Structure 1
Amino acid sequence: MSTLSEIVLIAAVIAAGLIAGLFYAYTCSVMPGLARADARTYVTGMREINVAILNGWFALSFGGAPLLAAVAAALHFKSDLRAALPWIIAGFVLLLVMLVVTMAVNVPLNNVLEAGFDGDNTDFEALRSKFEGVWERWNLVRTIAGIGGFGALVGGLIAHVRA
């Protein structure tokens, strides 16, 4: 059981690091870069990013991180490695917050962006103004939650190794 719990916890840490890093990259480079663009470029760029990100690599880290954290918690619950459990549970909760924020706020805003697009007839300024500020604020929330989840899982891994 110890080997399986180690493997799952390490996988959770890696997946959490990947998704936290992705959202961090949005926060410190993608969105500031798009903010410098005109409204047409901003809307078009975000639409293309929203399509491109729907791939297996994204799914592995986005859904995999909280799932693996939950499995790691279950594996640590009835073992002599319980010292890691509070860290792992904290990591799971924070990664769940990241997932819920994404699904409840960011994805619906992505859908608003897509629904409001009408080719050359699009009011790019209006569409951007409905999207940009709110999306970026909630992206920051999910970035912080993702980084916190990653950090907590690292704490869990350290506690696991010390146990």
Structure 2
Amino acid sequence: MVAAVCCSGLVAGLFAGFGYAVMPGLRAVDDRAFVTSMQRINAAILNPVFLPMFLGGLVLGGVAAWLVWSAAAPGAWWAVAGAGLYLVVFLVTGTANVPLNNELAAGGEDIAALRERFEAKWVRWNLVRAFAGVGSLLCWLIALVTGVQIS
């Protein structure tokens, strides 16, 4: 369960950081700089640190939640809620942010139109996954603090 907490916290922090620092910073740059920056960030994020952390939150969280629920541990629903909220992070990333990233990667002649189609939607969905990630982390922490254990 501790590993699920760590993965959840790191991913939540990453997505929240985009929400309160990266995207507001990029809002001030011209269209070409914005598109180029996001394309490079999206390429760089697919690395041996992020992917295991991102997938680890889903797998480790799911296993931990199932184990504590199966053991009928008191307060196990906190772990289940943590895993459920992390599933939201995973699904939003896969169904909203990644398709937008792929569209941005494909590029196009009209950089301003590309940014227009991408930025507001991506920021909105990133906020959803950031809040879900923070919620997941809080649920996992409550599960740990209240002594939910896998027996």
* TM-score bracket relative to the smaller structure: over 0.9
Q: Structure 2: how far apart are the matches of 1:55 and 1:98?
A: 18
Cα offset, 1:32, TM superposition: 0.6
- 1:83 matched to 2:74: yes
| CA distance, structure 1, for counterparts of residue 51 and residue 34 of structure 2 | 24
TM-score, normalising length: structure 1: 0.87
Amino acid at match of 1:111: N
Q: How far does residue 112 in structure 1 lie from its aligned partner after superposition?
A: 0.8
Unmatched segments (≥5 aa) in structure 1:
1-8
- What amino acid sits opposite 2:60 in the alignment? L
Does residue 111 in structure 1 map to residue 112 in structure 2?
A: no
SS of equivalent residue, structure 1 residue 62: helix
Q: Mark the structure with the bigger radius of gyration.
A: 1
User: Structure 2: which 5+ residue stretches go unaligned?
Assistant: none
- Name the aligned partner's letter for residue 87 of structure 2: L
Runs of 4+ in 1 over 6 A off after TM superposition: none
TM-score (norm 2): 0.94
Residue 136 (1) aligns with residue 123 (2): yes
AA matched with 2:107: G
Aligned residues: 150
Identity across matched positions, percent: 45
Q: How much is the aligned-residue C-alpha RMSD, in angstroms?
A: 1.6
SS at match of 1:56: coil
Counterpart-to-counterpart distance in 1, 2:90 and 2:30: 30
Mapping 1:20-99, distance limit 5 Å: 20-79=12-71, 82-99=73-90
